[in-house]
């Protein structure tokens, strides 16, 4: 379950990935340099990201890619503000990826290091992709290992609270069904253990003692030390006669914490005059709450595990996305074969079914547990330029 509170995940263009899989695995991608800028604003958070990436082939079989990413976070979500102050943080991420091709098999290995004031992550990934049956079928396998150090940052410094370890296993298959239709199925299993809670969030519980004017108290979250999740996704893309394409996907998620989630997405791609590509997407996401989540517990220590993280609450979100890509060097220039620039803007509405806004509402207008349900809108802007050489 992704959250924008501490980092901004780049929106994945599923249709583009499926299209890329139609190419044979015995051809490495072109050399290129990318510049990326992103801006997220919503729910009290303001996140700005910048990155640069360069990919270079050293032979027809081997290529390397390096990337450097920095994002700056300011503000805090509404559930953090109930027990902590606003956040001003910067994340620096460095990564390197190697791709090697042998016959019809492509091997990928990568390493990523991410550092924040209160979070240090080291992630390794290995994957392979195999084309078969006349390049009509592509099978992919992957393994990811992440080792994280979790802390809590304050004006006096960072207190390191523990470690979290994650393992992820991925498998997928894509199939060209007709000259116009390609479909893919993927499956992923993730296991986590260690310090898995968010130190900046608190539970709340009923407290009717006369000295408590709010009617509730706050306490630390208590999470299980292990977590396993499963996700299966089905994607398809259909090419229309007039050079356009329509894509759709469905993803089901479940985990051992009781969360169940469904994601539906529909997209449309339209090239224009060999210089422009216009894309539009709509995505709907719905999830149920975790088994140990509650907006208001009956009393302190009422359960072994307790959470009031809004990312574990029952919620829905609807995203509308528009993207335009322009080839501004279609014939090349000096060492560059071609270049493109892309602008992508998304609008997302988040609604929570059992998480209430206690930051702006309280006694005497609302008794604890009757405050208005929380909702907010977010805007994501992404700009990136790719230079192929």
Residue 8 falls inside a structural domain: no
Q: Which of 307, 306, 322, 299 is nearest to 380 (CA)?
A: 322
Q: Is 17 helix (H, G, I), strand (E, B) or coil?
A: helix
Q: Can you point out the beta strands (E) in 6-102? A: 32-42, 45-57, 62-75, 87-102
Residue 262 falls inside a structural domain: yes
Residue 21 falls inside a structural domain: yes
Residue 206 CA to residue 218 CA, distance in Å, equals 9
Mean pLDDT of 331-348: 90
- The per-residue pLDDT for 330 is 72
Q: How many Å is the Cα radius of gyration of the chain? A: 23
Residue 9 CA to residue 352 CA, distance in Å, equals 21
pLDDT in tens, 1-10: 333 333 333 3
Which residues, 6 or more positions from 338, have their beta carbon under 8 angstroms from its beta carbon?
Answer: 327, 329, 330, 331, 332, 388
- The per-residue pLDDT for 14 is 31
CB 231 within 8 A of CB 252: yes
Residue 5 falls inside a structural domain: no
Residue 276 CA to residue 327 CA, distance in Å, equals 6
- Tokens 């253990």, residue? 193
CATH number of the domain bearing residue 325? 2.40.160.40
- The per-residue pLDDT for 1 is 39
CA atoms within 13 A on the CB side of 2: 10
- Find the range with the poorest average confidence among 28-42, 206-220, 358-372: 358-372
Report residue 378's pLDDT band, with 50, 70 and 90 as the boundaries: very high
pLDDT in tens, 177-189: 999 999 999 999 9
Residue with the larger pLDDT of the pair 252 and 29: 252
Residue 143 CA to residue 296 CA, distance in Å, equals 39
pLDDT in tens, 140-163: 999 999 999 999 988 788 899 999
Residue 69 falls inside a structural domain: yes
Residue 155 falls inside a structural domain: yes
Residue 6 falls inside a structural domain: no
Report residue 364's pLDDT band, with 50, 70 and 90 as the boundaries: confident
CA atoms within 13 A on the CB side of 101: 17
Q: What angle do CA 102, 106, 108 make, to 5 degrees?
A: 125
Q: Can you point out the beta strands (E) in 103-212? A: 105-115, 119-132, 137-154, 157-176, 181-194, 202-206
Domain carrying residue 312: 14-388
- The per-residue pLDDT for 84 is 62
pLDDT in tens, 194-243: 999 988 899 999 999 988 888 999 999 999 999 999 999 999 999 998 89
Q: Does pLDDT of 371 surpass 90?
A: yes
> 127-134 long-range contacts, Cβ below 8 Å, gap at least 24?
127/170, 129/21, 129/25, 129/105, 130/25, 130/104, 130/105, 130/106, 131/24, 131/25, 131/26, 131/104, 131/105, 132/104
Please, what is the end-to-end C-alpha distance for the chain in angstroms?
A: 37
Q: Does pLDDT of 17 surpass 50?
A: no
Tokens of 274: 């060999």
CB 260 within 8 A of CB 254: yes
Q: How many domains does the chain have?
A: 1
CB 89 within 8 A of CB 72: yes
Report residue 77's pLDDT band, with 50, 70 and 90 as the boundaries: confident
Residue 186 falls inside a structural domain: yes
């Amino acid at each position: 379950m992704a959250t924008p509170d501490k980092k901004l995940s780049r929106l994945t263009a599923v249709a583009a990935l499926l299209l890329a899989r139609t190419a044979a695995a015995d051809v490495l991608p072109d050399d290129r340099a990318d510049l990326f800028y992103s801006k997220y604003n919503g729910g009290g958070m303001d996140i700005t990201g910048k990155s640069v990436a360069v990919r270079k082939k050293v032979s027809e079989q081997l290529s390397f890619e390096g990337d450097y990413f920095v994002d700056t976070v300011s503000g805090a979500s509404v559930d953090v503000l109930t027990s902590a102050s606003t956040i001003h943080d910067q994340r620096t991420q460095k990564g390197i990826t190697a791709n090697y091709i042998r016959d019809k098999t492509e091997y990928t290995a990568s390493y990523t290091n991410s550092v924040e004031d209160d979070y240090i992550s080291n992630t390794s990934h290995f994957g392979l992709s195999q084309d078969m049956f006349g390049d009509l079928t592509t099978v992919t396998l992957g393994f990811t290992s992440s080792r994280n150090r979790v802390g809590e940052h304050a004006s006096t410094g960072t207190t390191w609270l523990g470690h979290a370890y994650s393992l992820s296993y991925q498998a997928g298959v894509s199939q060209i069904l007709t000259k116009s239709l390609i479909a893919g199925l993927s499956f992923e299993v993730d296991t986590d253990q260690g310090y898995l809670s968010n130190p900046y969030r608190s539970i709340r519980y009923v407290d009717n003692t006369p000295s408590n004017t709010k009617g509730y108290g706050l306490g630390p979250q208590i999470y299980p030390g292990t977590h396993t999740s499963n996700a299966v996704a089905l994607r398809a893309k259909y090419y229309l006669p007039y050079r356009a394409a329509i894509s759709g996907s469905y993803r089901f998620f479940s985990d051992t914490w009781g969360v169940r989630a469904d994601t539906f997405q529909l997209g449309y791609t339209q090239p224009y005059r060999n210089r422009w590509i216009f894309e539009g997407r709509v995505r709907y996401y719905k999830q149920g709450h975790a088994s140990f989540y509650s907006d208001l517990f009956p009393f302190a220590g009422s359960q072994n595990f307790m959470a009031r993280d809004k990312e574990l609450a029952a919620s829905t979100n609807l995203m509308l996305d528009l993207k335009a890509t322009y080839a501004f060097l279609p014939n090349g220039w000096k060492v560059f074969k071609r270049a493109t620039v892309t602008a992508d803007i998304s609008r997302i509405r988040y609604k929570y079914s059992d998480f209430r806004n206690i930051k702006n509402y309280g006694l005497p207008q609302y008794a604890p547990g009757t405050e208005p349900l929380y909702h907010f809108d977010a805007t994501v802007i992404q700009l990136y330029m790719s230079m192929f050489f």
